[in-house]
Amino acid sequence: MSRITPLRRPDWAGFAACIAVNLLLASLTACGPSEEERTTTARAEAWAELEEAQAALNAKRGELEQLRAQAAAPGEGEDGEALAAQVEALDEEVGGDGEVLQQKLVNYINEAGWELGGEMNEEQRLAFAMMSGEQMYLAQEYVVKGGDYRKAIDILVGAQRNDPNNPELAARLAKYQEDRYVSAERLAEVKRGMTETEVEGVLGKVFHSYVRTFSDENVFAWFYPKDPEQHGAGAAVGVFFNESDRKVYRTDPNAVEGDDEEE
């Protein structure tokens, strides 16, 4: 025999409470941030992280620059080898941090889906200015560490394609294009008895493939390219050092004659 369940009076109070909760949830959903607002917030947070990371990285770069100067001219009682090891370790750390920052910055730019070549909005201008700053630092490293002006110029030319109106970028590019070639006037600033470090202070770091050793004469030489448009392809000035004391004993503004046609 089936049991009959007594009918119960409707719980109007509970029903009203349920409706109130549902209306509140609907109201909260309707008043919450839109997709556009969430995207804007996320972009702002990502940009703040990039700025913070770059500030920390620039502080490390400042430390590296000071340490390099200290290692280049150790003071009395300072261990030159230990300083060089510190420079190498910090240089490696700075390089790794720079790669990470650039990748995050590239991701930030690519996620925006900007159409390049038109008028930049403020967000684009700031993002590409940061990217140009990173690329200028990278180009400077090629110059400072290896005397590779060709690579540095290529980096800055590429940066200009995305950031054509950046005056600092244009100025740096113009400087490298000027410093890339050594004139007789610049060479004249190098004096007999100068050390390698002193010569680098005048002419910059010599590119590794432009160093020659003349064992039979007990000398080695650094060659710096001259402007090929004026002197022909391959023309170079020369700075000659004694192997014994590693100091300049002569310079030659026409150490290597250039070809008539530039390569």
**Beta-sheet pairing, 236-242 with 248-256:** antiparallel
What is the C-alpha to C-alpha distance for residues 155 and 132, in angstroms, rounded to an integer?
Answer: 10
What is the C-alpha to C-alpha distance for residues 238 and 221, in angstroms, rounded to an integer?
Answer: 6
Supply the DSSP string of 129-187, one letter for each residue.
HHHHHHHHHHHHHHHHHH--HHHHHHHHHHHHHH-TT-HHHHHHHHHHHHHTS--HHHH
Q: Of all residues in the chain, what percent carry a pLDDT higher than 70? A: 86
Q: pLDDT category, 14, cuts 50, 70, 90?
A: low
| Amino acid at residue number 148 | D
- Predicted pLDDT of residue 216: 85
CA Rg, the chain, in Å? 32
Q: Higher confidence at residue 105 or residue 73?
A: 105
What is the C-alpha to C-alpha distance for residues 132 and 45, in angstroms, rounded to an integer?
Answer: 21
Q: pLDDT category, 227, cuts 50, 70, 90?
A: very high
Q: pLDDT category, 133, cuts 50, 70, 90?
A: very high
